[in-house]
Structure 1
Amino acid sequence: MAKYLAQIIILGTTMVGKAFARALRQELAASQEAARRAGGGQKGAQRAAANAKTGLTLEEAMKILNVEKLEESEQIDKHYKYLVEANDRSKGGSFYLQSKVVRAKERIDEELQNLGEQKQKKYRRGQPET
């Protein structure tokens, strides 16, 4: 009886160890893929910090506010105002959705600020704007 119990414990421990190792490899691969999509280097670090700060990626924020380009500032403001008003709790809206809209606007503003800082740095170094 003790022999079988020991075999069950060893088998269970082995299975859990393999599953943990597999999950760790998957998490590492996902992390590397996210870093690659963010652009890597300083730009990737800035994006990762902004994503962590607001809890949204830039792509999610742009989908929430229904814009395709960051240069569409009038559209961003127009959609933001509409969605905040439409989801106002006093009008029967959802505070959760309203907060998602606010976070999306914050994320886009953060990205625009980062882009503005990068353009200023290039200008100071004498590099042409792209």
Structure 2
Amino acid sequence: MAAKLLANLIVMGSGILGRAVLQAYRKALENANKTGVAHEAVQNIRRASKAMTEQEARQILGISEQSTWEEIVQRYDILFERNAKHGSFYLQSKVHRAKECLEAIYQQKGDGKL
């Protein structure tokens, strides 16, 4: 008898919990749509899938087209460490992707020493 009662309580409790989670999820989606967070997240996903251009990489690292590979690495180290300590993971990843983009370009051109 006690086992049956306990089983009923577990089934009822999990049903109530499931409905509460679903309701909270719906409310979170509603709030995200109201504030524009959902739209911004979709835009960020779309942007992330596009390849970074050389110009964008240079802007992120704050370097010119005449910069040597050593200058690029030095600037990368400064920005990467700064964002590791006081910045954001997002900015740190952009700095890293910028270096990767320029590294591929420098390897293709044969410029600088890698």
Give the structure-1-normalised TM-score.
0.44
Give the structure-2-normalised TM-score.
0.49
Greater Rg by CA = 2
Higher relative contact order (CA 8 A, sep 6+): 2
